[in-house]
Structures are given as structure tokens and as C-alpha cells.
Amino acid sequence: MTVVIYDPTLRDGHHAVRHQLDAEQLREYAQAADTARIPVVEVGHGNGLGASSLQAGPAKLSDEEMLETVRAALPNSKMAAFLLPGWGTTADLRMAVAKGADIVRIGAHCTEADITERHLGWLREQGVEAQGVLMMSHMADPARLAHEAAKLVSYGAGAVGIMDSAGHYLPEDVTERITAIREAAGVPVLFHGHNNLGMAIANSVAAVRAGATIIDACARGFGAGAGNTQLEVLVPVLERLGHPTGIDLYGLLDAADVAGRVLMPAPPTIDSVGVVSGLAGVFSGFKARVLDVARREGVDPRDVFFELGRRQAVAGQEDLIVDVALALAGRGATS
């Protein structure tokens, strides 16, 4: 079975350098990806269209500049953009399509597919390829994910799937979730892994074996925290297992070398916080705040992560970090 590789090195990977890639960096990597015949290159602020802001961190370039730069560097590959309702609006979608985005993905927390209805609907009306993605997907069981995925399809998504945003999955977890979604969706299914537990490659293989046909992966594993699935490792592993991707191996390795040379000072590694956030199922973006609060309150940051996991904390609930730290220090109201 052929697998279509999506490359969000310049979008999700962008988190690793706080969205500070410049036009020359975008161009160099996109050209290398196009030469390697990587079918889809995703670009933008790490949090997607419209997210560049004081709150999410300003990107070096505007969304328009990023899309224009990458579009011009992709004579063959398709270009994708990403949007999280709340950060981005329909106006951002219109702009992205005007700038040549072939595919737009709309993301939502795993239990909140509802918030994507307007955006997926708008894309469908325009005849633009739209996909729906459920984030922090380990927080919902397979049946719930299948239910939410079916909603995404009903709104207009031409492909649906899950992100392992916290890097919490082991391969069997992926198998059961992708299977449930595939059976409910009736459209191509996608998987996007993170490497906190060293399982990004194995999880992606499990996804393909369960029927996913779109897999995300980033050059050198470029991404927040412990990083994403490493693209130039995944592709030859899939090929060896009988899943062609159409990507040229040497071109791919060249693109990875370009990424290593021009995009990032050092590739992501799995540090202790990466392990703990993956085990706890907590978004690794909490790291700086957790370390800071834990130090101030004299508690173990690892205890904070595990307690945040038990409380099912999600991005936007950073206030919970202080509550948890105070509770662990024996000074707060515990919940």
C-alpha cells in the first residue's frame, strides 16, 4: 500500500526555533524537499495560520510571506497550511488559498471536532482539499475518536486523523485508534507522531499497518520537545516494509542534511522532561512553566507533570500548573 508523506518540517518543526525561520531558510529546505519528491510540504507558524502573536510568539515572517516563499520553491510538491480555530479565521483561509495552499488542515482538541465545522465547510465550498486533525488524541478512547472523526468528515474533511501531541502512544494504542477511525471515516486516515517515548517510527508503522495512508514526518525529527517522527528514517523503513512513498532516498537524505545545516542548531533529543511529559500525556510546551513553578514552590517538576496528566490538563490550562505545584507543596486547595 502506498503511503503519502506530509512534511510539516517548516510548520510543526517551526516550534523548535520559536517560529524564527527566515525566507532563505524556508526556500532552501522547500527546494530540497521538492527535489526529493516529497509530495506535500506544510509551512507556517507552529500553531498555524493567524497564530503569530504576542501570546503564541511572533513568527519572523508573516503568514503571507511564508506561503509565498514556499510556494515559489515548490514546482512539483503540493503546499499545505494548518489552522486552529481560535487562532485562525476564515479570512486566513482565504489568504492561504489565494497564496497557493493546495491543502488546508484544520486542527481541534480530540473531543472538539465541532469547532471545525465552519472552516471545513468554507474550504469545501471553495473546492479546496480540506483535512481534519484531532490533537492530544490519547485523551480520548478509540470510539470517541471515531465519532469525532466522522463529524470532521461530515463537515467536509477529505481526510481525517490524529496527532499524538504528547508523544504518549505505544504502537498498540495507535493500531486500535487508527483502526476505529478508518472503520468510521470512509476517507483517507492520517497519523502524526511525536518521539517522547522513542516510538515515533514504530507508531507510524503501526498506523500504516492499521490502514492510515497519510503520515506526517519532519526532517531530522525537527519539532517541539522530543521532536516529531524523523522523516528520513521513516521513509526507508516504510519502503523496506513494502510501503512505497514515491520519495527519492538520496534526495531525502540531502533534504535532511539541508535541514541540519540551515534550519536548526541541533536536532531534538529525548531529555528527561520529554520522557516524563510523554509518560504523563502532557503537552511538552508546558516544560518551561513547569520547571519554573516547581523550582519556586520547591516541588519535583516530574510530580507536577504526572499530576497534570492525571488532571487531563491541555494547552491553555497553564494556570493549572500553579494549582498543582501548590497542592504538591501542601499549600493549595487540592482538587
Q: Is 288 in the site for its own copies (CB under 8 A)?
A: no
Tell me the three cell numbers of residue 135. Answer: 490533537
Interface pick for its own copies out of 55, 75, 240, 333 (rule CB under 8 A): 240
Measured from the CB atom, the residue of 58 and 171 that comes closer to its own copies is 171
- Asked whether the beta carbons of 193 and 184 are under 8 A apart, the reply is no
Q: Any known ligand binding at 45?
A: no
| Binding segment toward its own copies, per CB under 8 A, in 51-59, 108-116, 273-281, 282-290 | 273-281
Name residue 13's amino acid: G
> DSSP string spanning 280-303?
HT--GGGHHHHHHHHHHHT--HHH
Q: Is 262 in the site for its own copies (CB under 8 A)?
A: no
Q: Any known ligand binding at 119?
A: no
Q: What is the distance between the alpha carbons of residues 309 and 3, in angstroms, rounded to a whole number?
A: 33
- Residue of 15, 19, 109, 168 marked active site: 15
Q: Is 260 in the site for its own copies (CB under 8 A)?
A: yes
Q: Tell me how far, at minimum, the Cβ of 84 lies from its own copies, in Å.
A: 28
Q: Is 199 in the site for its own copies (CB under 8 A)?
A: yes
Tell me the three cell numbers of residue 80. Answer: 499545505
Q: Could you tell me which residues come within 8 angstroms of residue 199 by beta carbon, excluding any fewer than 6 positions away?
A: 167, 169, 170, 171, 193
Whether residue 15 lies in the annotated active site: yes
Phi and psi angles of residue 62, each rounded to the nearest 5 degrees, phi first: -75, 160
189-192/40-43 β-pairing = unpaired
- Enumerate residues 306-335 that contact its own copies by CB under 8 A: none
Element (H, E) at 252: helix 249-258
SS3 80: strand
Q: Tell me how far, at minimum, the Cβ of 257 lies from its own copies, in Å.
A: 6
| Binding segment toward its own copies, per CB under 8 A, in 15-23, 103-111, 177-185, 255-263 | 255-263
List residues with catalytic annotation. Answer: 15
Residues engaged in binding its own copies (CB under 8 A): 170-171, 195, 197-202, 220-221, 230, 232-234, 236-237, 240-241, 250, 253, 256-257, 260, 266-267, 269-272, 275-276, 279, 300, 302
